[in-house]
A and B are shown apart, each in its own frame.
Chain A
């Protein structure tokens, strides 16, 4: 049995794909979210909430038609790669190609340079010198799936992580999710998408929460008990009364998505990553 053939992919293809996806993500929000907002604009009970949702839908229609960013905060670009283990990158550095793609997309798409080089602000650096965040998963095969998300920081700032203990269990997870959404209120730009990551280590929980918030909102967790928990958490979050933009109403969140991973017998890490109503994500496969 011979080794599987290695597939060469030039990093310039990745660069161009990242650039294109970044622009498209900022001009067109995902169809599942737009559909959910249209649906919410009908079922929301609060009049000011309905009017707000109608304006959001109108904003997305204008952005798509005029090809302009849906929001001035075109976000911190998060690039998630699922790289087939039989892929061999040629033509340069993978990381440089992704950064270059983000720079190109930001420039050609008239997106805002929203990144500061020094998070401490002790150095006087201009924006745009470290343009994105990269997550890499190795998977079987010879294909590459690229997901580009533009993560706005109104919602990102209201996210939270907590290390519970096993005895805390599902009641603690439930309380933590509700408290996080309640504290975020209007600041996270509701109606929001709630991504919950449970398990692994400290950083696994955060990454799971990111993957959860970026999962399409019409896809439920495949485990029936977790699917039920998603529905239960969504109902409870929507009982908070925050409503669209915190102006009061029933539609505070469009979905609660949960992702899990095995963890230590002594632990229960839980992360809650919030996404605004324009949770921008788009994928392509090479």
Chain B
């Protein structure tokens, strides 16, 4: 199975996002910002009331994660993805502020997927429950805002060859839906 390398260390390339297709296996390298229920709500509230976000969201990829605390000597604790759909209502505001992609886990359908289509954002699913393994693909983690939210703080995370699958691409594809249709046995 071939793996597409998506390196956005020098910023996310629009052309690179265009090339992705739902179902592509990818390895992601670059800087992402963490996203959780509490931080997403606070960010969206700030944006909707016209305040600037605490860090620029322009051309950023967000990673739905609330890591466990690092053990001594660790960069980060376990750091697998959390369920993306829980934060879906905040995506229109976040995309309007420049976010161009989300890494998370789980499915997005209908209203949850619509903002991705409107804003040409890409949804990558990492494997849920892969926290110990995925922590090895992270080279730095720094809280940049909302420190009071504990595991839900806004964290800048450097990821390297981080495995994921393109679920929602810029061409109308939704890989979860296609995969179910391909493998379902109807009675």
Contacts and interface: CB of A to CB of B under 8 A. Distances in A.
**What bracket does the count of chain A residues touching chain B fall in?**
35 or more
A68 B105 CA distance: 21
B1 interface: yes
Contacts of A58: 133
A241 B80 contact: no
Contacts of B39: none
A250 B182 CA distance: 11
Interface string B102-136: 00011100000000000000000101111111011
Interface in B67-90: 67-71, 74, 77-80, 82-83, 85-86
Given A110-B68, A126-B150, A246-B107, A241 B184 contact: yes
A189 interface: yes
A157 interface: yes
A245 B128 contact: yes
A112 B129 contact: no
Interface stretch (B45-53, B91-99, B173-181): B173-181
B101 interface: no
Q: Decide if the interface of chain A is mainly helix, strand, loop or mixed.
A: loop
B141 to A, nearest CB: 12
A186 to B, nearest CB: 5
B182 A70 contact: no
A167 to B, nearest CB: 23
27 contacts: A55-B130, A62-B136, A68-B135, A70-B129, A71-B128, A72-B65, A72-B67, A72-B78, A72-B80, A73-B80, A112-B68, A112-B69, A112-B151, A113-B151, A114-B66, A152-B129, A154-B105, A154-B106, A185-B180, A187-B107, A189-B105, A189-B129, A239-B185, A241-B179, A241-B185, A245-B105, A246-B180
A204 interface: no
B129 A278 contact: yes
B183 A111 contact: no
A212 interface: no
A185 B179 CA distance: 11
Interface of A: 46-48, 51-52, 55-56, 58-60, 62-63, 66, 68-74, 110-114, 126-127, 152, 154, 157, 185-187, 189, 236, 239-243, 245-250, 276-278
B70 to A, nearest CB: 7
Interface of B: 1, 25, 65-71, 74, 77-80, 82-83, 85-86, 105-107, 125, 127-133, 135-136, 150-151, 163, 165, 175-176, 178-187
A69 B129 CA distance: 10
B151 A114 contact: yes
A187 B81 CA distance: 11
A249 B185 CA distance: 10
Contacts of B129: 56, 59, 70-71, 152, 189, 276-278
Contacts of B83: 154, 157, 187
Contact of A247 (B69, B77, B133, B165): B165
The 4 closest A-B pairs by CB, nearest first: A248-B179, A241-B183, A241-B184, A187-B106
Given A68-B78, A154-B105, A185-B106, A246 B179 contact: yes
